[in-house]
Amino acid sequence: MYLKIHYSGSNVVVAICDKDILGKTLVEGNMRVTIHEGFYCGEVVDAESVEKALITATTANLFGEKCVQCAIDCGMVNPLSVIYIDGVPHAQIFRIR
């Protein structure tokens, strides 16, 4: 999995995607989402690193089976809130403080 952290003022945006979808464009109906290297390609990480990053995130954007499952396993994402775009699981986390 790739993990990249973006900082904007007091916001911490965590972007995570599975390795096999980096650079791909997902198409579902009239929706098109490209998994851009500039946004997602940071460190190669394991499940423990994903959990640590999600704990600090004010916002998180996740694409892929492995990373979304990690977020579910650590209790950060409700499995019922996962959507699929072109067959790829996607989840977002928004923390309001």
The CATH number of 2-94 is 3.30.1860.10
Determine phi and psi for 10, rounding to 5 degrees.
Answer: -90, 0
Q: What is the pLDDT of residues 39-81, one digit of tens each?
A: 999 999 999 999 999 999 999 999 999 999 999 999 999 999 9
Q: Tokens at residue 40, please?
A: 């997602």
Q: What is the pLDDT of residues 27-38, one digit of tens each?
A: 999 999 999 999
Write the secondary structure of the chain as one string of H (helix), E (strand) and C (coil).
CEEEEEEECCEEEEEEECHHHCCCEEEECCEEEECCHHHHCCEECCHHHHHHHHHHCCEEEEECHHHHHHHHHCCCCCHHHCEEECCEEEEEEECCC
Predicted TM-score (pTM) of the model is 0.94
Domain locations along the chain = 2-94
